[in-house]
Amino acid sequence: MDRSVFHGSRLIGPSLAGLFVGWWGAASAFFTNALSFVALIAALISLPKRPMGTPEEEQQRRSGILEGFRYVRSNRIIVSLITLIALNTIFVFPAISVMLPLYVRDILHLGAKSMGGLMAISGSGAFLGSIGLLSVARENRLKFMTGNVVAIAMGVFFMSLSQGFLLTACAMGAIAIALSMNFGLTNTIVQEQAPAHLRGRVSAVVGMSFFGLMPIAGLITPGFADLIGMRTTLTIASVIYGIAAVPVLSVAGRHVCDQPVSPAPEPEIEPVC
């Protein structure tokens, strides 16, 4: 549900931004985006204080994120999934986010409204992927994630060949659906693998492989685009991603699919007097 809300917002924001830029210039989009954070600040201020737990719970909380790192290091499945997310961050996300304005302007020779349309299509695909995630059975996770990796690699490759809006829109839509499903499945598997008292810290470590690497990837990949050209960079990124992601995913998927599902405990039935 949380991912559906997140991706659903991507349907509206980019479309409005494209219209604002076309009507009143880029400053209007930035100003409106800044105002939207007022609601977020108000929501954070309204959060109640965390209640104190038992001495054991407080001791576990004081161990911090280091305990999350230690657990992740000992779990091959989560390490593989973190590697997969890192590959997405380095080779895919710069193409559909950081470099997109230059791609639209210099490769497709289109304007702000077209870019807003592409981002809205990407948001639509991500929203559909988050909804479709609900229908993926546990035993089919490996198949879906492998197919998504292939779709992502092909999508980036077709972006490198595209000469117009339509092919780029189809490629970005496919990439968004596949990325959304793989991120959702990754989060699901991580939640299943991590023990309850470490779940938040393990999720934070996994999140760092995306949010922590994104600024670095946003510098490296566009830097290569300046040196060898954007089309060549996208082609190389798609090939490296496909070659690297499939073996990484096979390691994680094999262990995930082989693990038995722990049955839920049956509720105790109190005798009726």
For residue 273, being part of any structural domain is answered with no
Name the H helices within 106-164.
112-132, 141-161
Q: Which of 193, 195, 236 is nearest to 79 (CA)?
A: 193
For residue 58, being part of any structural domain is answered with no
- Of 216 and 14, more confident: 216
Q: Is residue 260's pLDDT more than 70? A: no
Per-residue pLDDT band for 197 (boundaries 50, 70, 90) equals confident
For residue 46, being part of any structural domain is answered with no
For residue 270, being part of any structural domain is answered with no
Number of structural domains (the chain) is 1
pTM: 0.78
Q: Is residue 171's pLDDT more than 90? A: yes
For residue 60, being part of any structural domain is answered with no
Domain range for 188 is: 2-29+66-258
Q: Is residue 257's pLDDT more than 80? A: no
For residue 265, being part of any structural domain is answered with no
For residue 219, being part of any structural domain is answered with yes
* CA gap 217, 221 in Å, rounded: 6
Secondary structure letter of residue 259 according to DSSP: S
Q: What's the gap between Cα 133 and its chain centre?
A: 13
How far lies 91's CA from each of 125, 155, 240, 245, 259, in Å?
A: 19, 12, 8, 10, 30
Q: What is the CATH number of the domain that holds 133?
A: 1.20.1250.20
**CB-based burial, 123-140: b 16+ in 10 Å, e otherwise:** bbbbbbbbbebeebeeee
Q: Is residue 7's pLDDT more than 80? A: no
Q: Given this model, what pLDDT does residue 139 score? A: 79
* CA gap 142, 12 in Å, rounded: 32
Tokens 């980036």 sit on residue: 156
Express each pLDDT in 138-165 by its tens digit: 878 888 888 999 999 999 999 999 999 9
Q: Is residue 265's pLDDT more than 70? A: no
For residue 132, being part of any structural domain is answered with yes
- DSSP for 75-105, written as a single string: -HHHHHHHHHHHHHHHHTHIIIIISHHHIII
Express each pLDDT in 24-34 by its tens digit: 877 888 888 88
Helix (H/G/I), strand (E/B), else coil: 162: coil
How confident is the model over 66-93, as a mean pLDDT?
A: 88
Tokens of 93: 């996300």
